[in-house]
Amino acid sequence: MAVTDKSPPPSRWTLRTIRATFDIFTEMTLSGIWRCLEQRFGLGLRSAGVQHYSPDPEYIPKFDNICKCLNEAATMPDRVTLVFLDEMGYTRWPEPGPDWTGQAPMAAPATDRADSPNRLWRIIGAWNAVTGRVDFLDAYIVGRAKVIKFYEQLNNAYPDAQRLLVVQDNWSIHTHDDVLGALKRWPRIEPVWLPTYSPWLNPIEKLWRWLRQDVLKMHRLAGDWPSLRGRVNQFLGQFATGSHALLRYVGLLGKGKLAQALRSPP
């Protein structure tokens, strides 16, 4: 149906509604309209951005501070290092996902689920926003002790940094008195707090997505827990010396605001 002056505008245009609405496209095929839109008018089919919302009243100042810290790490890499920190968990049983097959794919079940409980394993990781390097620590439980241990690991991983900025969320463990007290051992480490409930500002979330997509979906290791953990650690370990591909995957080489903060002059 064509859009008229009296009808409400469509929430999304399609090639068919464009052809029905505009006279210049009436005699064109759908593929011809697509080429014309792209080549003549610079219009393409693009995904809309997700409407994000954080209830943090200090969202803008915190976001601006993260951008400032990113710029410092990019322009002074010999003195300032910035990493994004986060935790994730995964289970023994595989996550469902699409696969090439003749019928609907089913994840391989555990040999005996009574003997193979769906245990949860956790990872705390840090991703370098300039080099793409990944450091991580895995354990059955990631609590105060593991977070403190990981801070020590980060301190040893970047011995030459004068300032080690660690961008992280407001999980209660991160702000626990024991954790904040332990940070005094490593004065170079400076927590940088994300706005409340704003995972879209933490690019390491996309690393977890990549891990789930390539390793945890439809895996065949439900009955071999050591091998599954080994594959997860192997996946993360490939980024131990940095990765240009990972920087691209998480969007830090794109046109987003965090990427722009890395490239803009101080």
Strand partners, 89: 122
**Chain segment 215-225, per-residue pLDDT in tens:** 999 888 888 88
- CATH architecture of residue range(s) 59-263: 2-Layer Sandwich (3.30)
Q: What is the DSSP letter of 79?
A: T
> Mean pLDDT across the stretch 10-14?
87
Residue 24: C-alpha distances to residues 3, 11, 19, 34, 119 (Å):
14, 22, 8, 13, 61
> Mean pLDDT across the stretch 18-42?
93
Q: Where in the chain is the domain with CATH 3.30.420.10?
A: 59-263
Low-confidence winner among 46-60, 146-160, 242-256 (lowest mean pLDDT): 46-60
**What is the total residue count of the chain?**
266
pTM of the model: 0.83
**Chain segment 156-166, per-residue pLDDT in tens:** 999 999 999 99
Low-confidence winner among 37-41, 106-110, 204-208 (lowest mean pLDDT): 106-110
Give the burial class of 64: count Cβ atoms within 10 A of its Cβ; 0-12 exposed, 13-18 middle, 19 or more buried.
exposed
* Residue 109, pLDDT score: 56
**Chain segment 103-138, per-residue pLDDT in tens:** 776 655 555 555 556 678 999 999 999 999 999 999
